[in-house]
Amino acid sequence: MSTASIVFTQATQQDSQLIDDAAKIWAQAAAQRDHKPLPKDGSGAVAGVERRLALPDARLTVASKGGVAAGFTLCSPHDGYLEIYYVAVAPDFWGQSIASGLLTKMDFFAHKAGFQELRLWVISDNSRAINLYQANGFRNTGQEQADETSGRVEFLLSKTKF
């Protein structure tokens, strides 16, 4: 995987453009995943990104390629582990190693910050994401829940070696 042409930027709650970029990426990726029309903007997803970014020590990483926001992750510490709330790549950038690069950045950050575990929830029928996470060392914990918004079943994945 080559991430040489991918630029990673840490955003804060004051970086409104990066937050808007992340929300648009999330809205478009979720629409593509669910076979729905792509939204023109991320206005429907901004509140969710802002809510997670407001958590203590939250970290928003935006990946850009060719000067265009292409993907992002959003995580925060939670009960001794680092929880990843979002991993999303704009559909135009799928298959270009953006998500793997973002996950590698999460590994580095978690290790540097002293976390021994990364966790994330993934929708059970999102085989594309599950395959990506498993290829990057995440394993199914056997725990599942219904997503609070959609009601879809989600699996908890965990990674302890990075």
The predicted-structure confidence for 73-121, as pLDDT tens digits, reads as follows: 999 999 889 999 999 999 999 999 999 999 999 999 999 999 999 999 9
pLDDT at 4 over 70: no
**Pairing state of beta strands 118-123 and 81-89?**
parallel
Confidence at residue 149, expressed as pLDDT on a 0 to 100 scale: 82
State which CATH number among 3.30.2090.10, 3.40.630.30, 3.40.50.300, 3.90.226.10 fits the domain covering 6-159: 3.40.630.30
Strand locations in the chain, DSSP E?
A: 6-11, 59-65, 68-78, 81-89, 118-123, 139-146, 153-159
Confidence at residue 3, expressed as pLDDT on a 0 to 100 scale: 54
Domain chopping of the chain, boundaries:
6-159
User: How many whole angstroms separate alpha carbon 57 and alpha carbon 142?
Assistant: 28
H/E element holding 106? helix 98-113
User: How many whole angstroms separate alpha carbon 104 and alpha carbon 94?
Assistant: 16
Burial call 68-84: b when 16+ CB within 10 Å, e when fewer: ebbbbbbbbbeeeebbb
Q: Which residues have C-beta within 8 Å of that of residue 151, sequence separation ≥ 6?
A: none
Confidence at residue 161, expressed as pLDDT on a 0 to 100 scale: 80
Three-state SS for 153?
Answer: strand
**Pairing state of beta strands 153-159 and 118-123?**
antiparallel
